[in-house]
Amino acid sequence: MPFITIKMLEGRSPELKKELVEKVTAVVAETLAVPKDRIHLFLEDMKPDTYAHGGVLASERNKTPETK
């Protein structure tokens, strides 16, 4: 019984999340030979100010110097 967590920055539409869940579930089911109804997926939306990469918050990454 696979448990899969996908963390991503917030802002994606419910339709896009639905598509992601369907596709990830299908790939895991095929790859691990597990029935789809045994696969558990957790989507975690993260606020841009709760994630950093390379010492820079995601909320700051796309700002120009004038908007910081």
- Residues labelled as active-site residues: 2
- pLDDT tier, 10 (very low <50, low <70, confident <90, very high otherwise): very high
- pLDDT tier, 8 (very low <50, low <70, confident <90, very high otherwise): very high
| CATH number of the domain within which 59 lies | 3.30.429.10
Strands 40-46 and 52-53: unpaired
For residue 27, what are the domain limits? 3-67
- pLDDT tier, 62 (very low <50, low <70, confident <90, very high otherwise): confident
- pLDDT tier, 61 (very low <50, low <70, confident <90, very high otherwise): confident
Distance (Å) of CA 46 to CA 14, 15, 19, 20, 65: 15, 18, 19, 16, 24
pTM attached to this predicted model: 0.81
Number of domains in the chain: 1
> Mean pLDDT score of the chain, rounded to an integer?
92
Contacts of 39-42 with C-beta under 8 Å, sequence gap 24+, read 39/1, 39/2, 39/4, 40/1, 40/2, 40/3, 40/4, 41/4, 41/5, 41/6, 42/3, 42/4, 42/5, 42/6
